[in-house]
Chains A and B, each alone.
Chain A
Amino acid sequence: QQQVKQSPQSLIVQKGGISIINCAYENTAFDYFPWYQQFPGKGPALLIAIRPDVSEKKEGRFTISFNKSAKQFSLHIMDSQPGDSATYFCAARHGGTDKLIFGTGTRLQVFP
C-alpha cells in the first residue's frame, strides 16, 4: 500500500519527441505527487508537483497528468532534448506524514 510503481524502467526518445513516464499508487491517503530529476552524481531535484484536486499541471515542456480514480499519474516531456537525459523519479507523500515514497526511477535517454 505504501508503494509507488513506476514504468518504464528505461526510455529512449529522439530529440523533439514526447517522453512519457507513468506511476501508479494504492494508498488513497497520498496527497502530494512530485516528480524529481536526477543527473548522475547529483541529488534529486524537484521538477514539478501536483496535488490530487487538480487533473493536470503544466510547467514549460513538463506536464503532469493526474487520474485520481485510476490512482495513476504521469509525466510528459514535450519536445524532449538531449539535456533532459537523466533519471526521473515519481514520488508520493502520505497526508499524515512528511516522508516521500519514491518510485523505482526511469532512465531517460534523448538522442539527437
Chain B
Amino acid sequence: EPEVTQTPSHQVTQMGQEVILRCVPISNHLYFYWYRQILGQKVEFLVSFYNNEISEKSEIFDDQFSVERPDGSNFTLKIRSTKLEDSAMYFCASVSQLTGELFFGEGSRLTVL
C-alpha cells in the first residue's frame, strides 16, 4: 500500500539552528500538507501546497517557516531559526484526488534544546 514517508524520524537541534524536515508524498497525489502536534495536544494545520505554491497557511506558519518541492517528489519543511516552542511532531500529509482522504506520514519528532 502506498504511504507517505518522512525523514528524519527524530531530530534534536539547538535553538537558533535551521532544520529541514523531508517528506515523500504518495505519488500521483497533488495536494500536500504539513501539520504539527505538540506533545499531548491536538494536531494543528500549518500549510497546504498545490501546484508548486502555498495554497493556505495558518498563523503558526510565520516567516521562520518555508516549504518547497525541490525535485518533484520530495516536499520539505524548513524552519529557519528554531525556537524551544517548535518542539513537536511534524506530520506530512497528501490527499487522494479519488477519495479526498488525507494520508499522514508517521511524523518527524523535532526536539529543540
Contact = CB atoms under 8 A, between A and B. Distances in A.
A17 interface: no
A86 interface: no
Interface string B71-97: 000000000000000000001010100
Contacts of B101: 34, 46, 49
A99 B45 CA distance: 7
Given A103-B42, A105-B42, A98 B95 contact: yes
Contact of A42 (B41, B50, B107): B107
Interface of A: 32, 34, 36, 41-46, 49, 89, 91, 97-105
Interface of B: 4, 31, 33, 35, 41-45, 48, 50, 55-56, 58, 91, 93, 95, 100-107
